[in-house]
Chains A and B, each alone.
Chain A
Amino acid sequence: MKEILKNLNKAFENKVRLGIMSALLVNDYLDFNTLKDLLDVTDGNLASHLKSLEKNGYIKFTKEFIGRKPNTKYSACDEGKIAFSKHIKAIEQLLK
């Protein structure tokens, strides 16, 4: 039991962060607005959660311009993918 709990990742306890990781795991990249639409959250809320995931080294982003509009694309790092898979496995084991 303790082993399982150790694999549960605090970084993914929040609903928004869980959503971000789920979406980024199955997409090459998603831009800020797409994520916002998917998760139905405010700009500030999303930005702060993205920042915390980035600090953990789970996601990365690139900035570019479409015309004059800045466009930030987010994608999951390998480290983030592994951590998230572990988290899902831990949940599944917990529910067994």
Chain B
Amino acid sequence: MDKKKYIEDLKDIKQMMNRSSRFISLSGLSGIFAGVIAIIGAYLAFQTIYANQNYLDYRQASLSSETLLYLLIIALVTLLSSIASGIFFTTKKAKKNNQKLWDSHTKNLLINLFIPLATGGILCFILLLKGFIGIIAPLTLIFYGLALVNASKFTLQEIRSLGLIEIILGLLGIYFIGYGLILWAIGFGILHIVYGIIMHLRYGS
């Protein structure tokens, strides 16, 4: 009996399983929910920043420490509820498909997602403290887009193009600074809903 061949076979099997699989339990529903939450968050932020100003007139963003705190709370609640819905729907889908939620691919996915994302988050927080509020919304789009492109190798292929569009929206937001929040609502809200629907239709819940 040629034992060497079988040792080689086992190695091949393991390698192929690792190489071929991506994190495919990503749920389209979580995208739709995150999008809706983002739009609500953007609306509340819009109301806060441009409070008591006529929509049709020239608008000026103004922040007192009180509204700053309120904005931070909105941001935090938006972020946490999006993450929670993502975890909820993805866990559900993984269970339904009999897939492991936590494996080497989930780990790869999260690590590669969080390196650009955490960098962007910290940068935006610093800018917020320094008072550069105009570029924060587009910067979150850019870093989120970079994070998605970076992580897309480990999950569904659609994530890559989603990331690229987020980056473009972010760059537009840096140039057209007054539209930052609207572009943010498009990027985090509408795009998530659109991609969520596409992925839901393609891969099911």
Number of A-B contacts (CB under 8 A): 45
Nearest-neighbour CB distance to chain A for B128, whole angstroms, equals 42
- In the assembled complex, which residues on chain A have CB atoms less than 8 Å from the CB atom of B12? 15, 18-19, 22
- In the assembled complex, which residues on chain A have CB atoms less than 8 Å from the CB atom of B6? 91, 94-95
Contact bitstring A62-83, B, C-beta under 8 A = 1, else 0? 0000000000000000000000
- In the assembled complex, which residues on chain A have CB atoms less than 8 Å from the CB atom of B14? 22
In the bound complex, do residue B1 and residue A27 qualify as a contact, i.e. CB atoms below 8 Å apart? no
Q: A91-B6, A94-B3, A95-B6 are in contact. Are A27 and B13 (CB under 8 A)?
A: no
A25 at the interface (CB under 8 A from B): yes
Return the chain A residue nearest B18 by Cβ: A26
B21 at the interface (CB under 8 A from A): yes
B16 at the interface (CB under 8 A from A): yes
- In the assembled complex, which residues on chain B have CB atoms less than 8 Å from the CB atom of A18? 9, 12-13, 16
Instruction: Give the contacting residue for B10; candidates A19, A30, A38, A92; CB below 8 A.
Output: A92
Instruction: Give the contacting residue for A30; candidates B3, B7, B20; CB below 8 A.
Output: B20
A38 to B47, CA, bound (A): 51
- In the assembled complex, which residues on chain B have CB atoms less than 8 Å from the CB atom of A15? 12
B19 at the interface (CB under 8 A from A): yes
A23 at the interface (CB under 8 A from B): yes
In the bound complex, do residue A38 and residue B3 qualify as a contact, i.e. CB atoms below 8 Å apart? no
In the bound complex, do residue B17 and residue A26 qualify as a contact, i.e. CB atoms below 8 Å apart? yes
A3 at the interface (CB under 8 A from B): no
B53 at the interface (CB under 8 A from A): no
Return the chain B residue nearest A35 by Cβ: B20
Q: Which of B3, B10, B17 neighbours the largest number of chain A CB atoms within 10 Å of its CB?
A: B17
In the bound complex, do residue A94 and residue B1 qualify as a contact, i.e. CB atoms below 8 Å apart? yes
In the bound complex, do residue A95 and residue B17 qualify as a contact, i.e. CB atoms below 8 Å apart? no
- In the assembled complex, which residues on chain A have CB atoms less than 8 Å from the CB atom of B17? 22-23, 25-26
In the bound complex, do residue A22 and residue B7 qualify as a contact, i.e. CB atoms below 8 Å apart? no
> Which residues of B are interface residues toward A (Cβ below 8 A)?
1, 3, 6-7, 9-10, 12-14, 16-17, 19-21, 24, 97
| Those 9 A-B pairs whose CB atoms lie nearest each other, nearest first | A22-B16, A23-B20, A26-B21, A22-B13, A26-B17, A91-B6, A19-B16, A22-B17, A23-B16
A-B contact sample (5 more), CB < 8 A, given A26-B20, A92-B10: A18-B9, A22-B13, A22-B20, A23-B21, A88-B13
The 21 sampled A-B contact pairs (Cβ below 8 Å) are: A18-B12, A18-B16, A19-B12, A22-B13, A22-B16, A23-B16, A23-B17, A23-B19, A23-B20, A27-B24, A28-B24, A30-B20, A38-B16, A38-B19, A38-B20, A91-B9, A91-B10, A92-B10, A94-B6, A95-B6, A95-B10
